[in-house]
Chains A and B, each alone.
Chain A
Amino acid sequence: GAVVSQHPSRVICKSGTSVKIECRSLDFQATTMFWYRQFPKQSLMLMATSNEGSKATYEQGVEKDKFLINHASLTLSTLTVTSAHPEDSSFYICSALTGDRGRKDEKLFFGSGTQLSVL
């Protein structure tokens, strides 16, 4: 299957600092990537849809100024948690879509996740 690399795997930061998480599709081009967060023992919650060359689409309740998404190339999307606070501590996961969206051959592959701990 396709490989999605997510970095860093773990980050600890002080309250008020910003943290950038990178998501790369290593062996395919992804026009669409997705960002999720997951709290312990809970399911994944979609935060936003990242489209190459355009603004991200955020889910209801997700602050776009808090979670900045940049999808500058077909292989890289970044999520920046700005002015992080302890309540932002969570497991963040990215995913990338292979193929053209809406085609029956498209599939979704996930990064390994980033555990963010804000002190």
Chain B
Amino acid sequence: LAKTTQPISMDSYEGQEVNITCSHNNIATNDYITWYQQFPSQGPRFIIQGYKTKVTNEVASLFIPADRKSSTLSLPRVSLSDTAVYYCLVGAGGGADGLTFGKGTHLIIQP
């Protein structure tokens, strides 16, 4: 299983773009990269998933360099409600194999 490393915490302000990077040096060929968001006392929520290059949806973008040893979740124009813990998971077939959660990144958005 590819181990992931993320910053423990990050701070930003409303309206800013936030980029959270995840390192996964041992990612395997079949592994996908998936990001989840978790609020206190709730289950994680799927944000975005990708395999290579760039993926964009209505809430975020995911940038994956050619070597796939890292990935960056980009949240445009954050608001206070984006304060949460963000987890990056790496695994085969959509990131579900093994499902080892790292410590995640606690993102705090200030007014």
Chain A residues close to B by CB (< 8 Å): 1, 4, 6, 32, 34, 36, 43-46, 91, 93-95, 97, 99, 101-113, 115
B45 at the interface (CB under 8 A from A): yes
Chain B residues close to A by CB (< 8 Å): 32, 34, 36, 41-46, 49, 51, 87, 92-104
Are A108 and B103 closer than 8 Å at their CB atoms?
no
Instruction: Give the residue name and chain of the A residue nearest to B106 (CB).
Output: A41
Are A106 and B94 closer than 8 Å at their CB atoms?
yes
Known: A1-B46, A6-B43. A107 touches B94 (CB 8 A): yes
Instruction: Give the residue name and chain of the B residue nearest to A101 (CB).
Output: B93
Q: Return 13 A-B CB contacts under 8 Å, by A number.
A: A36-B99, A36-B101, A43-B103, A93-B44, A97-B96, A102-B92, A104-B51, A104-B94, A105-B94, A106-B96, A107-B49, A108-B34, A115-B41
Are B45 and A104 closer than 8 Å at their CB atoms?
no
- Chain B contact residues: helix, strand, loop or mixed: loop
For the complex of A and B, the 3 pairs showing the least CB-CB separation, nearest first, are A110-B43, A106-B94, A102-B93
